[in-house]
Amino acid sequence: MDEENTIVENEEDQTEQTTPEEPEDDKAIVEELQRKLELAERAKVLAEKALDSTKSENARLKGEQRKQLTEAEQLEEYRKELEEKESDLHRRLNRTAAREALAVLNLTEKELTEDDLDLFVSSDEARTTARCQYLADLVQRRVAAAAKAERDKIQQETPKPTVGDSDSSDDLFLIGFTSAYGRESGNQF
């Protein structure tokens, strides 16, 4: 595997040395880009192979460690693994409970990602539901307060009608009626 890395590195060194400063035509640019792409793909394949071999080596070492443990130690390690898996399973199930509790907020999956849910989800369903319910209530109270503040602001900014300054048809009728019968504008009907 080290030989393959050396080959890729040597090819990269050659590419850097032979790369012209300014290519003469488009064909040379395309060929150069294709060669670099092939090198990148080779490097990616080598990196994946190295990762796979590292994973298999870790699994092999873990197996050897297990062989050296006593039976009690093996049982204890197995119990811990089961507890971790159970906790993970509960967390996955509680994500559903969290989504249900936060459904009142009408958030899309883009707005409420798995990472966001992980902030509220625990292996205890009651705790998860309580956290999510608290958040939903908090957001709803804040939205209601903001809406009320906006309504109050609009009401304050809206001018109030004043009596007598209006050009409504009722006022014109009364003015015409009182002047036609000679009544003073101060008398009311």
Per-residue confidence in pLDDT tens, the chain, 189 aa:
555 555 545 555 555 555 544 546 777 888 888 888 888 888 888 888 888 888 888 888 887 777 777 778 878 889 999 999 998 888 888 888 888 888 888 888 888 888 888 888 888 888 988 988 998 999 999 999 999 999 999 989 888 877 655 555 555 555 555 555 555 545 554
Q: Which pTM value belongs to this model?
A: 0.41
Distance of alpha carbon 167 from alpha carbon 165, whole angstroms: 7
Distance of alpha carbon 43 from alpha carbon 10, whole angstroms: 12
Distance of alpha carbon 143 from alpha carbon 47, whole angstroms: 50
Helix, strand and coil content of the chain, in percent to the nearest 5, comes to: 75, 0, 25
Give residue 41's identity as a one-letter amino acid code.
E
